[in-house]
Structure 1
């Protein structure tokens, strides 16, 4: 089960490049205002007396004027109180915090739609050296000795068969109904038609139409569009392209072995 996306944020006060503090220090100031004692405020904030005074001294210096005043002889380690500036700082922080909370609530209300698009965003971020990256749903896993034969259904209805070790199936957490990627390098795909298909791999044969041909330096790249809209790129020698009559608009079939398919999932 995939956890839903959530939004959160932290609020910090800065002067230039220096941080005055965040929630913890503001809470300490509030405890000082409530208890009138550094010792009691430190206890309420869950810190030592020294750590509390170090934080107060740091805030006083960074603010450029005292936020806390100390008077000796008070109960519990000396009396302390917020200055007018300190009280205003606490009030301003809480006001901004309220505005931030309201903003995050508005963002959260739109998060459901973003959550639905997250899988697509993740797929768009995938980068590999394989020319062909096809996303689909696992429709079958069939044990075959030490290997598993994994079938991936593409959005257009076509299927791709991959052969991988049973260990890899377990490591990737593959299961029927789960999403996965089929990665196939262009040189591993052959494109032919009619009698030229004889002798080519039979595990995967996907019929389509040649959409583009790029012939350069003795090597040709063929783009085959499948009925469902998926595109496959194949590379072959120029002589093979000419001999097979693979031109734009020609009906042809992409053939590749199950072992040529690399299966991947989003981590």
Structure 2
């Protein structure tokens, strides 16, 4: 027995993007024709145009554009806004599929054992949660070394148990979340670090202080930020300021993996 669910996005309280409509939009993009797209999906020509009209009416910008005349007699195209919607839907679909797979792993529908479902809605206090691609997975008898590539192109290594790799089904090329506490992030000057492993370069963008501690935000590129929290006297010794170039060091054993 498997868990299945259709992904539908609503707008103004009405169904907007449904899986069948997404298939139609991809077919329009491929064939450049409503009639050909309708046959490919398949659905009737009338239903295809009704779906397009509904999406265009609900959307703040046109998704499908119909061109008439011209050398080829015109055709139907997906607008730039429509193409962006298709990309965004693909990301949501991937997360939706992953959620259902994890839900299936955590529950037993036939026996009615739902005790672990609460884990799906669990929130964690770790401040740093950064998306990454799995470059490689090297398992030993107990632990496994996961090499991760961040969106900015820099890499981190996480060491977790082999059992965790198997339970999470971690494989190469997967998108995962690297999770680590802000107190686990050490900051250093650009010339003070000799090791290249688990060292990420960035620019200090913000410094917040209280009586005892300081929070430093470091921009590591491509809209990703690492947060480090340390005693205020350490910051004063480092003489860090906003705009300073720094290296963030995170121990591989402090980096958890989430999916």
Q: TM-score, normalised by structure 2?
A: 0.56
Task: Tell me how far apart the structure 1 counterparts of residues 246 and 196 of structure 2 sit (CA, whole Å).
Answer: 14
| Equivalent position of 2:222 in the other structure | 228
Which of 211, 235, 257 is the equivalent residue of 2:251?
257
Q: Do the aligned residues in 1 keep the contact of 2:217 with 2:228 (CA within 8 Å)?
A: yes
List aligned pairs for 1:92-241, cutoff 5 A: 107-111=18-22, 113=86, 115-118=89-92, 127-194=123-190, 196-197=192-193, 203-241=197-235
Gap regions ≥5 residues in structure 2 = 9-13, 24-85, 99-120
| Equivalent position of 2:30 in the other structure | none
Report SS of the residue matched to 2:221.
coil
Aligned-CA RMSD value:
3.1
Task: Tell me how far apart the structure 1 counterparts of residues 170 and 17 of structure 2 sit (CA, whole Å).
Answer: 37
State the shift of 1:195 in Å: 5.6
Report the structure, 1 or 2, having the larger helix content. Answer: 1
1:125-144 residue CA offsets vs partner (Å, 9 max, x unmatched): 98421100011110111234
Larger radius of gyration: 1
Task: Tell me how far apart the structure 2 counterparts of residues 6 and 161 of structure 1 sit (CA, whole Å).
Answer: 36
Q: Do the aligned residues in 1 keep the contact of 2:178 with 2:257 (CA within 8 Å)?
A: yes
State the shift of 1:119 in Å: 5.5
Task: State how many pairs are aligned.
Answer: 166
Gap regions ≥5 residues in structure 1 = 9-102
Task: Tell me how far apart the structure 2 counterparts of residues 196 and 105 of structure 1 sit (CA, whole Å).
Answer: 54
1:239-258 residue CA offsets vs partner (Å, 9 max, x unmatched): 10011011100000000100
Task: Tell me how far apart the structure 1 counterparts of residues 89 and 5 of structure 2 sit (CA, whole Å).
Answer: 6
State the shift of 1:6 in Å: 2.5
Taking a change above 3 Å as real, the CA distance of residues 217 and 105 of structure 1, as seen in their structure-2 partners, is closer
